[in-house]
A and B are shown apart, each in its own frame.
Chain A
Amino acid sequence: MRLEYPANIKVIRAPCTGKIDVIHLLRAIEKGADGAYVVGCMEGECLYNNGNFRAKKRVLQAQKVLDSVGMGGQRVQMYNLSSAEGPKFAAFAREMTEKIRELGPNPMKLAKKGEAA
């Protein structure tokens, strides 16, 4: 199956979404990513029982932290799909890209440009 999804997305593989921490999401935004999202297994189908539930809570926490410093918590999201759902993966990628376009560029990028100038 060769599916197209937006080329602006960089995929980072993790053994389980349960391994992803708040700091990973924050660092992505701090370093200039316009958005970061976690794609986990379907809820209830985690190989390690609750890895994706943990990820969900951490995404929520990262959203809170980002909101508290005025960065827009919505830049960070969580999606769930099963490994057989390639088309869904592509659809999520498009949805996320749309969402982030609406939010506009990461303020960190503007700040860094300012620094350079």
Chain B
Amino acid sequence: MIVASPKPMEEIIDTVKDCKKLLILGCNECVTVCEAGGKKEVGVLASALRMYFAKQGRQIQIDERTLERQCDHEYLEEIRDIADTYDAILSLACGVGVQFTAEKYLATVVLPGVNTCFLGATEERGLWTERCQACGACVLAKTGGICPVSRCAKRVLNGPCGGSTNGKCEISKEVDCAWQLIVDRLTALGKMDEYEQIAPLKDWSTDRAGGPRKVVKEDVQS
């Protein structure tokens, strides 16, 4: 899923300070699971902002709404009738949701309330870690199911580098060395002979390097 974290309150206050009527828009998908932008977080943020502006002696109407998804036309249509009545929509969805909302409601300012961080997994409640950088050309078949692109600080394809110490990365003792994990896994699978094959130069054109990407699946298109 897409993992996000809330923006600092002062940053949010600064972006919404000139509004008179604000909609805080949550999303029921990834940001709900990572507890950054679901219905609950919408409620907490709305309450906090109401208190802030009331204390400033400002009258602002702050409404709350959470959609099933902000990255789908269908669900975004649900606010068609009300979107224009707000000065701004503060979206707690990932960057995709913020942009999709903005594309749909051109007359309203759409602002981000979270920082979209990475594609990751819930290791335990309250702890999310990165697993994928969406490079568009998956190498996991060759690396024991552990991704060197997202989990090695230097995205080394023929690792580990010389900084790997006691299973940890040179950047921090808190960070696992992805290549230690890969070697351990290949060893456990009896596939260490594959380790000695040199990974060729990667085609990064399917990554961010190639510009904005799209996926087309003609058989399901209408």
User: Does A108 lie within 8 Å of B48, measured CB to CB?
Assistant: no
**B13 nearest CB neighbor, chain A only:** A69
**B126 nearest CB neighbor, chain A only:** A57
Task: For B57, list chain A residues within 8 Å (CB).
Answer: 111, 114
Task: Mark B residues whose CB is within 8 Å of A.
Answer: 8-10, 13, 40, 43-44, 47-52, 54-55, 57, 59
- Interface of chain A, main secondary structure: helix
Task: Mark A residues whose CB is within 8 Å of B.
Answer: 21-23, 26-27, 29-30, 65-66, 68-71, 107-108, 111-112, 114-115
Query: Which residue in B10, B13, B47, B59 is a CB contact (below 8 Å) of A30?
Result: B47
CA distance A22 to B42 in the complex (A): 12
With A68-B9, A69-B9 already in contact, the answer to whether A26 and B52 are too (CB < 8 A) is: no
User: Does B55 lie within 8 Å of A71, measured CB to CB?
Assistant: yes
Task: For B47, list chain A residues within 8 Å (CB).
Answer: 23, 26-27, 30
Task: For A29, list chain B residues within 8 Å (CB).
Answer: 51
Q: List 9 A-B contacts (CB under 8 A).
A: A30-B47, A66-B48, A69-B13, A71-B51, A71-B55, A107-B51, A107-B54, A108-B55, A111-B57
